[in-house]
Structure 1
Amino acid sequence: MESIQQTFQKMKNSKSILGHFERLKEDVLSDKWVNEFITANPELPESELDRNISRLFEFRNERKNCSICMSLQSCPNMMKGYQPELYVERQQVQIRYNVCQKKLKADESKRQHSLIKSLFIPKEILAATFDQLDQDNRSRIVAIAKAVEFATTTTPGETGKGLYLHGKFGVGKTYIMGAIANELAERNISTMLVYTPDFFRELKSGIHDGSYNVKLDLVKKVPVLILDDLGAETMSSWVRDDILGVILQHRMLEKLPTLYTSNYDFDELEEHLAYSQKGGIEQLKSKRIMERIRHFAEPVFIEGENRRGM
Structure 2
Amino acid sequence: MEPINKALNRVINMPSFQERYEKMRREILENEQVQKFLEENDTLVNKDMVERGLTTLHEYITQNPSCCGCDNTDYCTNNLNGFVPKLSIIRNSIEIEYYKCEQKLIEEERRESAKMISSMYMPKDVLRARVKDLLDNDSQMDVAELASRFIKKVKETGKLPSKGLYIYGPFGVGKSFVLGAIANELASSKIRSVIVFVPEFLSEMKQAISDNTLQDKVDFVKKAPVLMLDDLGAETLSTWTRDEILGTILHYRMAEELPTFITSNFDYDGLENHLANSQKGGVEVVKAARIMERIKATTTPIQMEGSNRRI
| Alignment TM-score > 0.5, same fold | yes
Give the CA deviation at 1:230. 0.2
Q: Is the 8 A contact 1:121 1:194 kept in 2?
A: no
Structure 1 residues 223 and 279: alpha-carbon distance in aligned structure 2, compared to 1, 3 A threshold: same
Per-residue CA shift, 1:181-236, capped at 9, x if unaligned?
12212332211111111111111111111111111000010111010000011111
In the alignment, the residues of structure 2 paired with residue 268 and residue 86 of structure 1 have an alpha-carbon distance, to the nearest angstrom, of: 61
SS of 1:281's partner is: coil
Q: Does 1:110 align with 2:112?
A: no
- The 1-side partners of 2:84 and 2:164 are apart by 40
Q: Secondary structure at the match of 2:236?
A: coil
Cross-structure match for 1:268: 270
1:46 is matched with: none
Q: Which residue of 2 aligns with 1:300?
A: 302
Asked whether 1:223 is paired with 2:210, we answer: no
Change (3 A) 1:98 1:213: same
User: What is the correspondence of 1:24-103 to structure 2 with a 5 Å cutoff?
Assistant: 24-26=11-13, 31-32=21-22, 41=47, 60=55, 73=76, 97-99=95-97
Partner of 1:232: 234
| Gaps in structure 1 of 5+ consecutive residues | 1-13, 44-48, 50-55
Question: Hey, what does 2:125 align to over in structure 1?
Answer: 124
Distance 1:167 1:260 in 2: 11
Q: Aligned partners of 1:176, 1:134: CA distance in 2, in Å?
A: 11
> In the superposition, relative to structure 1, how do residues 278 and 66 fare at CA in structure 2: closer, same or farther (>3 Å)?
same
* CA distance 1:24–1:110, change in 2 (3 Å): same
Tell me: CA distance 1:210–1:65, structure 2 relative to 1, closer, same or farther (3 Å): same
Matching residue of 1:290: 292
Q: Identity across aligned pairs (percent)?
A: 37
Q: Greater CA radius of gyration, 1 or 2? A: 1
Whether 2:148 is the aligned partner of 1:148: answer yes
For structure 2, which runs of at least 5 residues remain unmatched after alignment? 30-45, 69-74, 115-119
**When the two structures are superposed, what TM-score results if normalisation uses the length of structure 1?**
0.73
- Partner deviation per Cα, 1:82-118 (whole Å, 9 max, x = no partner): 69999995xxxx6x6404xxx65x6233124445556
**What is the number of residues matched between the two proteins?**
271
Aligned Cα root-mean-square deviation (Å): 3.7
Per-residue deviation, residues 162-197 of structure 1 (Å, max 9, x unmatched): 210000000011111111112212332211111111
| 8 A Cα contact 1:196 1:230, kept in partner | yes
CA distance in 2, matches of 1:75, 1:151: 28
